[in-house]
Amino acid sequence: MAWGLVGLALGLPWLMGALWVRGGWRGAAAGVWPLALGYGYVLGLLVLTLLLRAQAAMGFPLNLIGPMLMLALAALAGGWWVWRRTRYAGGGEPAASGWREQPVWQRVLFALLLAWLGWRLAGLAQEIWWRPLYPWDAWTTWTVRPRVWSELRTLAPFVDPQSWLADTTGSVYTIEAWTYPYAVPLLALWPTLAFGAWNETAANLPWFGAALALGFGFYGQARLWGASALTALVFAWLLLSLPVLDTHVALAGYADLWMAVVFSLAAIAFFQWLRDGDRRQGLLALLLALACPLVKLEGTVWLVMFVPALLMVRLRGRPLWTLAGLGVVLGLVWWSVGGVAFSLPGLGEFRLTPQLFQAPYLGQFRLGYRGTWEPVLKNFFALANWHLLWYLALAAAVTAVPGIRAERWRRVMAVFVASCLLLLFVLFFLTDAQRWAEQYTSINRVFLHFVPVLLFWIVTVFVSPAPAVDRGRSTAGEHLSV
């Protein structure tokens, strides 16, 4: 009975989210349902975390009834929306279009690859089911709060150590990472509320769903881009077989998998919007991009990565070059005056000098070039963490040059990818975070946030985009087509 409730607790927000995403498309274009399943899982669970916070804010004890009722009503409304939108739909490429016309060897290879991927995911599911909570950051940071909340049935506050020592009521708690966002701890909490007590297997199950969501969302978007079923599955297999990603599924509890899923699905939808101005893709990108800071503190930094590309979308010609020149001038002024420092009310001090970067919640980093390339190159090209991904990325970078020169939307996508890579270069070569690479610790975790985006960009390089069918079109695609 308890595990049935856990399944219902995880399945209902997934169903709700999938129905609402699916309702955005009238036709049954290839890839729409996988996209809906992938994006729907993430959006549904993010909505769930907001419902839990609202339940606690209204003074009610944490339980299933309120959120489940709201989710059920939303799922019913979503089902009606899908029925209404698809009842008389006549346009769009059917999902099974051309499948029977595919060569037999392609269909056989598709089935074999799907079985291989299913076998791998089954192994990861067994790891989650059998293994107790294991990762260091999980049981020191991310699952401390849900364990306390599960026992108390309330969102007991976590404060800084000084406030905890000064408290005489015994109603507050502390951990070193007390400022971290609530979304991931709430995701671990929710299935334990359904189970009826704290259970590490139940708490870890959403991580397996996150991997499924990433696979479904990636495959669906690749199909909508124009990839054949086999090609889309090959790239989804490449993604879901990455050792670093699989480790974060099997050893559930870190927030990095969630950061990768939320940011990557946002960026992939953004790429689709850049191509043809599809408002539905733009809305998906907006919702998930704004959710990035709810997952990890560095989600705010990943959110900022959309800014350069958006500026390039809205500006072109003289205004764009004027803005770039103004940025150079401001950079020179900043350097000449020795940097800037100011306090943000309620947050803390922000400081950016040629020697130091400090931001509230993100921490303090000493600046200066640290040219130790060996651990970075070894991580990407010698060790088995990423298979052959980075060799494929180098080939894609060379292949992409003609398309970048010919089509503006490809240039904007390249700016987005380059902005992310520049951010990671600054982090690991211009700050004291270099030691994370030298010690082979956080470098792979941080790059994991960006890798699914990079792989989808590789898809766009090697797969020609299909004409958009049944799209909610804005004018963005028209502006970027010249």
Residues 124-158 pLDDT 10s: 999 999 988 888 889 888 999 999 999 999 999 99
* CA-closest candidate to residue 36, choices 82, 89, 96, 1: 82
Q: Report the predicted TM-score, pTM, of the whole model to 2 decimal places.
A: 0.92
Confidence (pLDDT) at 105: 84
Residue whose tokens read 């028209």: 478
How far apart are alpha carbons 221 and 82 in whole angstroms? 19
How far apart are alpha carbons 193 and 156 in whole angstroms? 15
How far apart are alpha carbons 19 and 13 in whole angstroms? 10
CA distances from 165 to 154, 168, 175, 177 (A): 21, 8, 12, 16
How far apart are alpha carbons 281 and 147 in whole angstroms? 36
124 exposure class (CB count in 10 Å sphere: 0-12, 13-18, 19+): buried
Planar angle of CA 248, 450, 209, nearest 5 degrees: 40
Q: Provide the greatest CA pair distance for the chain.
A: 73
SS (H, E, C) the chain: CHHHHHHHHHHHHHHHHHHHHHCCCCCCCCCHHHHHHHHHHHHHHHHHHHHHHHHHHCCCCCCCHHHHHHHHHHHHHHHHHHHHHHCCCCCCCCCCCCCCCCCHHHHHHHHHHHHHHHHHHHHHHHHHHHCCCCCHHHHHHHCHHHHHHHHHCCCCCECCHHHHHHCCCCCCECCCCCCCCCHHHHHHHHHHHHHCCCCHHHHHHHHHHHHHHHHHHHHHHHHHHCCCHHHHHHHHHHHHCCHHHHHHHHCECECHHHHHHHHHHHHHHHHHHHHHCEHHHHHHHHHHHHHHHHHCCCHHHHHHCHHHHHHHHHCCCHHHHHHHHHHHHHHHHHHHHCCEEEEECCCEEEEECCCEEEECCCEEEEECCCCCCHHHHHHHHCCHHHCCHHHHHHHHHHHHHHHHHHCHHHHHHHHHHHHHHHHHHHHHHCECCHHHHHCCCHHHHHHHCCHHHHHHHHHHHHCCCCCCCCCCECCHHHHHCC
Q: Are the C-beta atoms of residues 204 and 440 closer than 8 Å to each other? A: no
How far apart are alpha carbons 271 and 276 in whole angstroms? 9
Give the pair of three-digit tokens for residue 30: 């290839």
Question: What are the φ and ψ backbone dihedral angles of 452, each rounded to 5 degrees?
Answer: -60, -35
* CA-closest candidate to residue 459, choices 284, 260, 213, 234: 234
Give the pair of three-digit tokens for residue 122: 């089954």
Mind listing the pLDDT tens digit of every residue in the chain (482 residues)?
A: 789 999 999 999 999 999 999 999 987 788 899 999 999 999 999 999 999 999 999 989 999 999 999 999 999 999 999 988 887 665 555 555 566 777 888 889 999 999 999 999 999 999 999 988 888 889 888 999 999 999 999 999 999 899 999 888 888 999 988 999 999 999 999 999 999 999 999 999 999 999 999 999 999 999 999 999 999 999 999 999 999 999 999 999 999 999 999 999 999 999 999 998 899 999 999 999 999 999 999 999 999 999 999 988 887 777 777 777 877 887 777 777 677 777 767 677 777 777 677 777 677 777 777 777 888 888 899 888 999 999 999 999 999 988 888 888 999 999 999 999 999 998 888 888 888 788 888 889 999 999 999 999 999 999 988 876 555 555 444 546 54
Confidence (pLDDT) at 482: 47
In the chain, the N- to C-terminal Cα span, in Å, equals 59
